[in-house]
């Protein structure tokens, strides 16, 4: 199968500093495949970047763009530009901190693997226009997350310890 302008593609990078979470292995190809499968299921076309950064970098981005101090787990930056014929569509950027994920997985998704998968899917859904500001939106977004994770991360039902909401 050849790629076309209608396919989704993901560019993945690990931009963490050498000292940030050395015990957290980030399997770039694995998370790229999850992101591409998620975009495909959501019928999204274009290019997305998925970048893993250290806690200090995501804290700086969180303060700069969200006016919130301190690190967060995931930030999404959708592109709002109108598509130009003949130019690849840029969907947006998802930025994840494995260090923050490592510090919260036990009281959130249950395992570090599930935490990072949830952050990848959650970030992509934000890029595609989903939100959780209102209760109905939050319920719809959580349902999409679960469907996508069951299809592309677990290949079946969520494990019993999985949680989408923080304790």
164 part of a folded domain: no
pLDDT above 50 for 4: no
Distance CA 121, CA 108 (A): 15
Q: How far apart are CA 99 and CA 110, in angstroms?
A: 15
**Residue 136 belongs to a domain:** yes
- CATH code assigned at 38: 3.40.390.30
- Write down the pLDDT at residue 167: 66
> To the nearest whole percent, how much of the chain has pLDDT over 70?
93
16: domain range?
Answer: 8-154
3 in a domain, yes or no? no
pLDDT at 2 (0 to 100): 35
pLDDT in tens, 35-84: 999 999 999 999 999 999 999 999 999 999 999 999 999 999 999 677 77
CB neighbours of residue 11 within 10 Å: 13
Q: Domain for residue 150, yes or no?
A: yes
Q: Where residue 161 falls among pLDDT bands split at 50, 70, 90? A: confident
Per-residue pLDDT at 7 = 83
Is the residue at 160 inside a domain?
A: no
Q: How confident is the model at residue 3 (pLDDT cuts 50, 70, 90)?
A: very low
Q: Is the pLDDT of residue 6 over 60?
A: no
What is d(CA 50, CA 20) in angstroms, rounded to the nearest whole number? 18
pTM summary value:
0.92
Domain count, the chain: 1
> What number of CA atoms fall less than 13 Å from residue 84's CA on the CB side?
5
Query: Does any domain span residue 1?
Result: no
Q: Which has the minimum average pLDDT: 3-7, 16-20, 57-61, 140-144?
A: 3-7
The pLDDT-based confidence of 1 (bands split at 50, 70, 90) is very low
Mean pLDDT of 75-95: 87
The verdict on residue 163 lying in a domain is: no
| Domain presence at residue 167 | no
């Amino acid at each position: 199968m050849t790629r076309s302008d209608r396919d989704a593609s993901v560019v993945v990078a690990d931009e963490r500093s050498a000292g940030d979470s050395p015990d957290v292995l980030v399997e770039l190809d694995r998370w790229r495949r999850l992101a591409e499968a998620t975009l495909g299921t959501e019928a999204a076309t274009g290019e997305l970047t998925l970048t893993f950064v250290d806690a200090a970098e995501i804290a700086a981005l969180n303060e700069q763009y969200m006016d919130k101090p301190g690190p967060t787990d995931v930030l999404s930056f959708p592109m709002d530009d109108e598509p130009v014929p003949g130019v690849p569509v840029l969907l947006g950027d998802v930025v994840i901190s494995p260090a923050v994920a490592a510090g919260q997985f036990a009281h959130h998704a249950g395992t570090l693997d599930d935490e990072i998968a949830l952050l990848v899917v959650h970030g992509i859904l934000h890029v595609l226009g989903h939100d959780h500001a209102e209760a109905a939106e939050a319920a719809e977004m959580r349902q999409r997350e679960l469907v996508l994770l069951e299809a592309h991360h677990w290949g079946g039902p969520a494990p019993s310890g999985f949680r989408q909401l923080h304790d």
